[in-house]
Amino acid sequence: MQATAIAQPNIALIKYWGKRDLALNLPAVGSISITLDALHTEVSIDLGTNLASDCLLVNGVEDADRLPRMSACLSRVIGDRRPFARIETRSNFPIAAGLASSASAFAAATVAAAAAADLDLDKASLACLAGQASGSAARSLFGGFAELENSGDTITLTALCDENAWPLKVVVAITETSPKATSSTEAMEISRQTSPFYSAWIQRQASDLATARRAIEQRDFATLAAISEHNCLKMHSVMWASRPPIVFWNSATMRCLQTVRKLQQDGCQVFFTIDAGPQIKAVCTAEDMSAVQEALSQTPGVQQIMTTGLGRAAQLVKKT
């Protein structure tokens, strides 16, 4: 009746932005991500309590705002007639600041909920359930490089490359730790409804996915770098052209971007990606990691640097 799971956040190189079905939380596009190993969220779920309602503690503090989404996630996994649960989540990185904390939280919650209820679900089913809670969470069921395909009325996940098969590094430059003003769910809907670039974004995604998939297969860093930066900037252009405009960047985000350009000119194998927040994630080879860390930590406005390799799939760690 009690289970704990751990999951790592993932960042998309080819991004998910926009929903095909809001109620089922189906993405409008496929995506390709990497799971990160130094960051994690641990979720414990206890179904054996005599609670009068669900209760959620996030990093030790009761969180009524996040509770409805977490309760809905548990009900999708276990069913509506489940007992009330005590849910505890702990992350070792800033949450709701564009570091994919919802991906690791919902991936871990899905695995823990299934185990606490003694359900034997395969990885594909767990990924679909996690994806209904948060689109990107489906990808944290996989380690290394993973692809999410939006196929008909569901999603399909494929492992593209093991975390050890192409051990890239990611240097995260944190430029702001406070939670973002607009959630990705909200921002995606504003983009879908108002951005003149939205339809072009959807149309071109298949080609970006194919280019990235091939680059990963061939361990072709330069091609992966070019397509990932292009896809990231395209997603942010969709947002910037929305009404109201959605701009997650701050001046330090822009300065980090220039730092990455300078590193590239100096011959470093590095590229940037930015999600729904002001942090820069610089993906690089192990050989160039220290140069990237040093340059980003010296960039004005960077508050913190975190460096990580590629991580593993979400795991069950305890069941009693």
> Could you list the residues that contact ligand DP6 (CB under 6 A)?
12, 15-17, 25, 31, 102, 134-136, 184-185, 275-276
Shortest Å distance, C-beta 130 to ligand DP6: 10
Picking from 254, 302, 165, 208, the residue whose alpha carbon sits closest to that of residue 13 is: 208
Closer residue to ligand DP6, CB minimum distance, 15 or 213 = 15
Picking from 97, 81, 214, 206, the residue whose alpha carbon sits closest to that of residue 145 is: 214
In the chain, what is the straight-line distance between the N-terminal and C-terminal CA atoms, in Å? 6
Shortest Å distance, C-beta 210 to ligand DP6: 17
Q: Please check whether residue 2 is in contact with residue 320, taking contact to mean a CB–CB distance below 8 angstroms.
A: yes
Shortest Å distance, C-beta 185 to ligand DP6: 3
Shortest Å distance, C-beta 211 to ligand DP6: 16
179: preceding bond cis by omega (within 30 degrees): no
Shortest Å distance, C-beta 112 to ligand DP6: 18
57 CB neighbour count, 10 Å cutoff: 15
Q: Please check whether residue 140 is in contact with residue 265, taking contact to mean a CB–CB distance below 8 angstroms.
A: no
Strand order in the sheet with 154-161: 10-14, 31-35, 145-151, 154-161
Shortest Å distance, C-beta 241 to ligand DP6: 16
Closer residue to ligand DP6, CB minimum distance, 4 or 184 = 184
Picking from 208, 287, 278, the residue whose alpha carbon sits closest to that of residue 239 is: 278
Q: Please check whether residue 91 is in contact with residue 105, taking contact to mean a CB–CB distance below 8 angstroms.
A: yes
Q: Is 26 helix (H, G, I), strand (E, B) or coil?
A: strand
Closer residue to ligand DP6, CB minimum distance, 49 or 182 = 182
Q: How far is CA 174 from CA 9, 79, 288, 297, 304, in A?
A: 15, 38, 19, 10, 5
Closer residue to ligand DP6, CB minimum distance, 101 or 299 = 101
Q: 171 forms bridges with which residues in the sheet?
A: 282, 307
Closer residue to ligand DP6, CB minimum distance, 107 or 270 = 107
Shortest Å distance, C-beta 291 to ligand DP6: 26
Closer residue to ligand DP6, CB minimum distance, 104 or 134 = 134
Residue 299 carries which side chain, given as an amino acid letter? Answer: T
Closer residue to ligand DP6, CB minimum distance, 46 or 231 = 231
